[in-house]
Structure formats: structure tokens, C-alpha cells
């Protein structure tokens, strides 16, 4: 259910404004209104964390790439936040 709600929020963001861009790495998809270098940095960090877990826990990749949504401004995040104290959600 939460994944579906996040998907709806992300889809709404992409149709509501053209300022959001989708970037992809080998294992992740990132949607952001930030710049390309920031997006690449975030994706690199997620790839490093994934590599650690794959190596140490022998985990498998999911069928679909996990989608990450990063907002440049807290105000934009608050519009889709589940409550006023959350810093992130999945």
C-alpha cells in the first residue's frame, strides 16, 4: 500500500511540474528536482550501500529498480509527507 502511495505521489509530481528529472543507475531510479551532480552523488551512495549488503548478506536484487524521490526543498517534501515529523518514508 505504501509503495502504491509513493508511486502515486511520484507520478503526481512528474505530471504536476516539469522540474523533476529521472536519473538511473544500474540498480536504482532517482526522481529529483535537484541538479545532475547531486543526483549522481546520491545514486553512487545507494550503489555503495547496496554493494555492501549484497557482499555481506548475499541478498538478491528485487525484480524492479527501487525508486527514490529526493526533494530539493523541505516544503516540497512536506506536501507528500505522511506526517509533520517524518524526515523520510518508504
Which cell goes with 35? 541538479
What is the model's pLDDT at position 6? 54
What is the model's pLDDT at position 8? 53
Helices (H), the chain: 2-16, 36-57, 74-78
Q: What is the pLDDT of residues 23-37, one digit of tens each?
A: 999 999 999 999 999
Q: What is the pLDDT of residues 31-83, one digit of tens each?
A: 999 999 999 999 999 999 999 988 898 877 888 899 999 998 888 888 888 88
Position of cell 528529472?
Answer: 21
Q: What's the pLDDT band for 86 if we cut at 50, 70, 90?
A: confident
Amino acid at each position: 500500500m505504501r509503495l502504491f502511495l509513493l508511486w502515486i505521489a511520484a507520478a503526481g509530481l512528474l505530471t504536476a511540474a516539469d522540474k523533476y528529472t529521472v536519473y538511473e543507475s544500474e540498480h536504482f531510479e532517482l526522481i529529483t528536482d535537484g541538479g545532475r551532480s547531486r543526483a549522481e552523488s546520491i545514486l553512487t551512495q545507494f550503489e555503495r550501500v547496496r554493494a555492501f549488503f549484497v557482499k555481506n548478506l548475499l541478498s538478491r536484487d528485487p525484480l524492479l529498480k527501487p525508486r527514490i524521490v529526493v526533494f530539493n526543498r523541505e516544503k516540497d517534501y512536506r506536501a507528500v509527507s505522511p506526517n509533520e515529523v517524518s524526515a523520510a518514508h518508504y
